[in-house]
Copies of this chain bind each other. A is one copy, B any other.
Amino acid sequence: MGTASKALSLLNYFSRAQSQIGLSDLARLSGMNKATVYRLMGELADHGFVEQVGAGREYRLGPAFLRLAALREKAVPMRELALAELTKLSELTGETSHMSLLNGEVLSNLTYSYAHKHGTMVMMEDAEVLELHSTGSGLAVLAFSPASFIDAILSKPLVARTPETVTDPAAIQALLPKIRKRGMAWSIGGYERDVYSHAVPIFDAGSQCIGAMAVAAPVSRMTDELRAMIQAELALAARRTTRVLGGFPPDSFPKINPTDSPVESELT
């Protein structure tokens, strides 16, 4: 692993739950020498990627990310485009919708939209981490990822978030062919007890799966009717999202009923 990669990997230890980390902790977490971490963090700090705070001299993520995220979004308005689709999706379904991107071995939430139709709704946050094995979005991504990646994920210990979480690798493997055939995954209470989630993978220009779009509803509100509506609208929204992001579903990806999705001349 190159030096630059080591420095960058240090940034992955910062999370929603742990936003500040001391030098020694960071050395322990990363398994690197303290002197190494010290030097690398110093370089990251020079560029505004981290900053040291207060007495404990702990590190936290720096302001440079705001600038670079703004530039990224200006160049590739993923979040904006996804949010436009999610807003429509939430209005149509009356439920929370969100989109997340694959980042290493987990998904992290890109953006989301709430519906204001009901008194209760599934909550969501930016940069929220979703595991691949225990969420609808994760299963959707897993199903359309290379076999080697799937094996790598499923060979690690799978945490049971709820009593309903499927943690048997073989059982998860058995789900994937169905998900591939449907082009959609679902998870009932696998991550949060009361959440019924549908998810469809999103692809890039090389037909690689880069994330998923999902609709999450309280289990108690799910009916056959709502399920059918979510599935229909989500499939359309996800397909549009892949397209507006400049991506293409792989050839193996199931087509939607042509009456719902008329063939369009493909430009650019």
Contacts and interface: CB of A to CB of B under 8 A. Distances in A.
Interface size class of A (residues with CB under 8 A): 35 or more
A20 to B, nearest CB: 7
Interface string A1-12: 011111111010
A67 B8 contact: no
A8 B74 contact: no
A205 B101 CA distance: 35
Given A60-B76, A63-B101, A65-B65, A71 B127 contact: yes
Given A16-B71, A19-B74, A71-B61, A4 B66 contact: no
Contacts of A127: 67-68, 70-71, 74
A62 interface: yes
A78 interface: yes
Given A4-B4, A67-B103, A68-B69, A75 B60 contact: yes
A54 interface: yes
A26 interface: no
Given A8-B47, A49-B8, A69-B69, A75 B2 contact: no
A108 interface: yes
B64 A103 contact: yes
A129 B43 CA distance: 23
B61 A75 contact: yes
A213 interface: no
Interface string A67-109: 1111111111011000000000000000000000101000010
Contact of A3 (B3, B63, B103): B3
Interface in A30-68: 39-40, 43-44, 46-49, 53-54, 60-68
A25 interface: no
A8 B97 CA distance: 34
A241 to B, nearest CB: 14
Contacts of A64: 103
A2 B9 CA distance: 16
A15 B70 CA distance: 10
A20 B60 CA distance: 29
11 contacts: A2-B39, A2-B43, A3-B4, A5-B46, A5-B47, A7-B7, A8-B44, A19-B71, A19-B74, A60-B76, A69-B69
Interface of A: 2-9, 11, 14-16, 19-20, 39-40, 43-44, 46-49, 53-54, 60-76, 78-79, 101, 103, 108, 110, 125-127, 205, 210
